[in-house]
Amino acid sequence: MIQRAAGLRVAILTDETGWHTRELLRALREHGCTGRCVDLAHCRMDTTHAWHGLVLPGFGQALPDAAIVRGIAGGSFEQVTRRLGVLHALRECGVPVYNDARAIERSVDKSMTSVLLHAAGVPTPPTWTMESPAAAQQLVHRESAAGHSLVLKPLFGSQGAGLQRVGWVDGAHVPLPALDGAYGQVAHLQRFLPPLTHPGHDFRVLVIGGHAFAAMRRVSEHWVHNVAQGARCEPQALADGPGPELARLAEAATRALDLDYAGVDLLPTREGAQVIEVNGVAAWQGLQRVTRASIAQALVRDLLERKCAGRERRLQA
């Protein structure tokens, strides 16, 4: 299947270039493919341009043979909707998109992620999302009275930015702050799971093509364990210890959101691990430092063998 992929032109859709895009470009070259970085903000719809009505810089009147979504820049509601619209249009035109717009929409919205995980029976902490400040404050008081701490998260946040603990925190009540700025007037609250060890840690499992590929522990003195917030990465085997359970839950979470690949964050509890978040545009530089196999190679191989080969079979049917 990989031999048939030689010569394919693949768009890496990203708002910034760097280590991740270099890794993907190298992996594509090693499979005989040509990669090109394209910012979705620079793509446009033009129904006079070609039969498909899309213009991607560097592709002329043609479409890419496949696309890998590496990053989507933030912007106004209209800008983000239009950029996702390009991804939707690529898929409707038969271009394999990895992950496609529907999957990204499910994972970037933390409230949708929580609902889908809950509906699929994947263990995840109790979560509430609402627009009413009064209702949110009432919830925080009720949880605080029961001795629970809650984590307030931006609905569309990433890398641990904007996380705050409210409710019963370190022996005192912390009220809900104003929901302006990063929170967009929406309260997305998840029950805090206290660490079992000191320093605390969580797990990141990378799932590719439905199978857990690699994992790590993210260890930090702080309760936020993102690498971007200073956590250190340690290898975590998937074959022993908590590894099999982590793999099973991460794969179930990825299926629930119908993702081609995903970075799944889990926290250990006395009752077993729980899924905290699922990232459909996952970074993997920290994980690569503690993983022998090339993650970029695995991603590209899955794209070519499963997504592109599946498209070829459909075209021949």
Per-residue buried b or exposed e for 63-99, using 16+ beta carbons within 10 Å of the residue's own CB: bbbbbbbbbbeeeeeeebebbbebbebbeeeebbbbb
Helix 110-119 × helix 101-108 angle, to 10°: 90
Q: CA gyration radius for the chain?
A: 21
Confidence at residue 190, expressed as pLDDT on a 0 to 100 scale? 97
Q: In what order do the strands lie in the sheet with 200-208?
A: 232-235, 211-220, 200-208, 261-267, 274-279
56 pLDDT more than 90: yes
Q: Two tokens at 187?
A: 């309260």
| Contact in structure between 3 and 33 (CB atoms under 8 Å) | no
Which tens digit of pLDDT belongs to each residue from 254-293?
Answer: 999 999 999 999 999 999 999 999 999 999 999 999 999 9
- Which backbone phi and psi does 257 adopt, to 5 degrees? -100, 0
Q: Are 75 and 39 in contact (CB under 8 A)?
A: no
- Omega prior to 126 cis, within 30 of 0: no
Q: What is the pLDDT of residues 189-217, one digit of tens each?
A: 999 999 998 899 999 999 999 999 999 99
Q: Among 28-32, 180-184, 217-221, 244-248, where is mean pLDDT lowest?
A: 180-184
Res 315: pLDDT: 44
Task: Give the C-alpha separation, 223 to 199, whole Å.
Answer: 9
User: What confidence category does residue 313 fall into, taking pLDDT thresholds of 50, 70 and 90?
Assistant: very low
How high is the mean pLDDT of the chain? 93
pTM given for the model: 0.93
Q: Which residue has the higher pLDDT, 158 or 23?
A: 23
DSSP the chain: -HHHHTT-EEEEE-SS-SHHHHHHHHHHHHTT-EEEEE-GGG-EE-TTTSTT-EE-TTSTTS--SEEEE-------HHHHHHHHHHHHHHHHTT--EES-HHHHHHHHSHHHHHHHHHHTT-----EEEES-HHHHHHHHHHHHHTT-EEEEE-TT--TTTT-EEEEEETTEEE------GGGTT-EEEEE----SSSSEEEEEEEEETTEEEEEEEEEESSS---GGGTPEEEE--SSSTTHHHHHHHHHHHHHHHT-SEEEEEEE--TT--EEEEEETT---HHHHHT-SS-HHHHHHHHIIIIIIHHHHHHHH-
